[in-house]
Amino acid sequence: MSAYPKIVVTPPGPKARELVKKDESLISPSYVRFYPLVVESGKGCIVKDVDGNEYIDFNSGVACLNVGHNHPKVVAAIKSQCDRFLHYSNTDFYYREVVSLAEELSQITPGTFEKKVFFSNSGTEAVEAAVKLAKWHTRKQLFLGFIGAFHGRTIGSLSFTASKPTQRRYFFPLMPGVTHVPYPYCYRCPFKLTYPDCHYWCVDFIDEFVLQKYVPAEDVAAIVFEPIQGEGGYVVPPPEYFQRLKKLADKYNLLLVDDEVQAGMGRTGKWFAIEHWNVEPDILCIAKALASGLPLGATVAKAKLMDWVGGSHASTFGGNPVSCVAGNAVIEVVNEEKLLENATRQGGYIVKRFEEAKEKSEIIGDVRGKGLMIGVEMVEDKESKKPASEKASEIMRRSWRRGAVVVTCGASTLCITRELVDSALDIIIDCVKEVEKEA
Ligand SMILES: Cc1ncc(COP(=O)(O)O)c(C=O)c1O
């Protein structure tokens, strides 16, 4: 039996309620808050709230804490850097911390070709840099993106984001020139076809109905994609999808921009999710788990593409030395503790347990994922596949109150143990049963 979770007061407790009230009066209401979890501290796979409750963390700081909360190696690297210097704008001067992380990133990203790295502070900035670089290098203005995508919320990346109308409402005009095409969401195929009988019509459609009909291919700089859609519902493309997309890109000389902000840094059991499809992108975006929660974004490109000149793109804080040493420590920890292997092992077990639960449930429609990037799609019934978003939210809130924190798409820290997985899954699957029974 696991010692966790430990619920000492039904959440949200009094201290959490007080803080939330204050937050509501001071903080922008545009943030997305899942439930009133008010964090006091974290260690490994456990997060503690201000009222003393200790939860098994299946949120991983929203996919940022792949090596767990406050990994001692990461904390030691940060402390030691803090004693040396906190900032000295990599945009204008030099320091070894960025070079050292760039060296590591060019080793762990797919492709043995020479690479160069642009450092920023976040996922959206990593995508902005990729888009600007693609424009600069190709001198072309058009892009293809995907319906259901999430690439960030600044105007450039928002032009590619297409998973919820709220993200875009009232913000038009966005960056012109982005055409969205259907993502290979086999459980709900936009073409109402079935894999594998569809013969990847979703790729041929881009060729025959988009590039040959109304988006002039010679003006398209790149295809921007997530290897597994995150915010869009943890949608995993079928086995040959990206090989075929690459063939299409090669046919028309388009760059492939792979947004690994959520799926990267080991989350799927490989350093980068696109490796599951054995494709080497031209430009790759990283953030979230890169520096274990410290702000850091990286845009890694084939060296020959990074031909822009001084002043064409830069960032005062991008590549902050404290964040960079945290990034190097994260890579070391993932390697030393064999966390890629653990993600594959524990993820396989989680999928198996949800598959078993699905057999006995009418509201678990689909279980999918790679490594520890796992989504469980809730439906009103398996026949209609009508999305059951309210039920999913209720399961999420109940699981939290009982000590397993999870958002509607699950992703734990890569260092999660079988014991904690079992404890959390017992709670979550129990909550599914309860909600199903009450319907
Ligand atoms: C795939 C993907 N790209 C980009 C972003 C934006 O990252 P940030 O919130 O750091 O700007 C996210 C955030 O969830 C993401 O999941």
Dump pLDDT digits (tens) for 273-290: 999 999 999 999 999 999
Distance in Å, CA 285 to ligand 1 centroid: 10
d(CA 277, CA 225): 13
Whose CA is closest to atom 4 on ligand 1? 151
pTM of the model: 0.97
Is 365 touching ligand 1 by the criterion CB < 6 Å?
A: no
Is 291 touching ligand 1 by the criterion CB < 6 Å?
A: no
Decide: 6 and 53 in contact? Cβ < 8 Å: yes
β-pairing verdict for 142-146 and 115-120: unpaired
**Torsions phi, psi for 428 (to 5 deg):** -65, -45
Is 128 touching ligand 1 by the criterion CB < 6 Å?
A: no
β-pairing verdict for 373-378 and 364-370: antiparallel
Is 127 touching ligand 1 by the criterion CB < 6 Å?
A: yes
d(CA 290, CA 24): 30
Residue type, 356: E
Is 315 touching ligand 1 by the criterion CB < 6 Å?
A: no
User: Taking the CB of residue 178, how many other CB atoms lie within 10 A of it?
Assistant: 19
**Stretch 81-92: mean pLDDT, rounded?**
97
Decide: 274 and 281 in contact? Cβ < 8 Å: yes
Catalytic residue set: 150, 259, 288
pLDDT category at 439 given cuts 50, 70, 90 is: confident
pLDDT in tens, 283-310: 999 999 999 999 999 999 999 999 999 9
Contact residues for 415 (Cβ-Cβ < 8 A; gap 6+): 44, 45, 67, 68, 337, 339, 342
pLDDT tops 80 at residue 61: yes
Residue 158 to residues 163, 178, 257, 320, Cα–Cα distance (Å): 10, 10, 15, 25
**Torsions phi, psi for 128 (to 5 deg):** -55, -45
d(CA 257, CA 252): 15
Angle at 393 between CA 438 and CA 342, to 5 degrees: 110
Substitution site in 267, 288, 292, 407 for ligand 1 pocket (most atoms within 8 Å of beta carbon): 288
Substitution site in 32, 120, 124, 265 for ligand 1 pocket (most atoms within 8 Å of beta carbon): 124
Average model confidence (pLDDT) across the chain: 96
Distance in Å, CA 25 to ligand 1 centroid: 26
CA-229 nearest atom, ligand 1 = 1
Is 150 touching ligand 1 by the criterion CB < 6 Å?
A: yes
pLDDT in tens, 155-214: 999 999 999 999 999 999 999 999 999 999 999 999 999 999 999 999 999 999 999 999
pLDDT category at 416 given cuts 50, 70, 90 is: confident
**Stretch 28-35: mean pLDDT, rounded?**
94
What is the per-residue pLDDT for 2? 79
Is 287 touching ligand 1 by the criterion CB < 6 Å?
A: yes
pLDDT tops 90 at residue 117: yes
pLDDT tops 60 at residue 410: no
CA-157 nearest atom, ligand 1 = 4
Substitution site in 65, 128, 150, 228 for ligand 1 pocket (most atoms within 8 Å of beta carbon): 150
